[in-house]
Structure 1
């Protein structure tokens, strides 16, 4: 599993925008920026939709006021699902990115096999990344939601 002080792996994440599909190289996405990245096991799922994403939406301005350039939500879903989920949640300040094949999640060592829930998914986590280097990493224990919340990240910033 990736650790604080390590550089994010190179991968491609996808985003559906009003201009069409965009693929983002993680090396470019995190270069020369301070970014809060959080991951959820699945779009439209209960904890993700009722607590995790909404917390970052509500606190986006306060998080960005701490010098954060962008807030990114990633899930092992396709970009179409991530875009639709972001729309239903009014996640205008959050970049909603799909890791459809879980390659980024696996490269981080943060995958989990959920079996009937959808197979390989991401563990729930949040991290602060500065110029591609992880400076804060909060990974949730299974079936918990405490350390990866927007409130926890805002406190850590």
Structure 2
């Protein structure tokens, strides 16, 4: 069953890119304090993710902070090296915390995994955005189709804050 408002964030090990290499973090700890906007994407460097989804959050990071968001985070079923390169390529380093879900553990635990094998992608995350306060989901918007960036885009999140 997919994550819904009122649910607690699943606790799994994720990886985040750092200057010293990948670092493991627990999702419940990383997403469990303050107000967090977490958005999930099917994959780094894919068209909608790179051209629309991530850039929206990077460009409007200050507006999110002004509305009380402590952390903006992105999760994808990629490794930390790929997310680090993607963050650097899209100038997201200072505004979006990248959380690599290489084995789709978080996506599966949240009920937000999808089968992308017909595109050669295997198990991936659905495209979504969620507002989390102290580890509890307040709102979540999940896209009906992977290329759409409507309910999960930064504009929708700003309206919910």
**Which TM-score tier does this pair reach, normalised by the shorter chain?**
over 0.9
**What's the counterpart of residue 104 of structure 2?**
102
- Determine the structure 1 residue equivalent to 2:12: 11
- Mean Cα deviation higher: 46-55 or 113-122: 113-122
Q: Give CA deviations for 1:126-156 in whole Å, capped at 9, x if unaligned.
A: 0001111000100000142210001110111
Consecutive unaligned residues of structure 1, counting only runs of 5 or more, are: none
TM-score, normalization by structure 1: 0.97
Compute the displacement of 1:100 (Å): 0.3
Match of 2:31 in 1: 30
Counterpart for residue 49 of structure 1: 50
Which secondary structure state, in structure 2, belongs to the residue aligned with residue 20 of structure 1? coil
> Do 2:35 and 2:132's aligned partners in 1 also have CA atoms closer than 8 Å?
yes
Shift in Å, 1:117: 2.8
Q: Which residue of 2 is the match for residue 40 of structure 1? A: 41
Identify the residue that residue 150 of structure 1 maps to in structure 2.
154
- Does residue 21 in structure 1 map to residue 5 in structure 2? no
Q: How does 1:113-152 map to 2 (within 5 A)?
A: 113-115=115-117, 116-142=119-145, 143-152=147-156
Aligned to 1:70: 71
Flag structure 2 segments of 5+ consecutive residues without an equivalent. none
Number of aligned residues: 157
Residues 32 and 136 of structure 2 are in contact (CA less than 8 Å); yes or no, is this contact kept in structure 1? no
Q: CA RMSD in A?
A: 0.9
Write the distance in 2 (CA, Å) between the matches of 1:101 and 1:49: 21
Q: Report the TM-score, using the length of structure 2 for normalisation.
A: 0.94
Runs of at least 4 residues off by over 3 Å: none
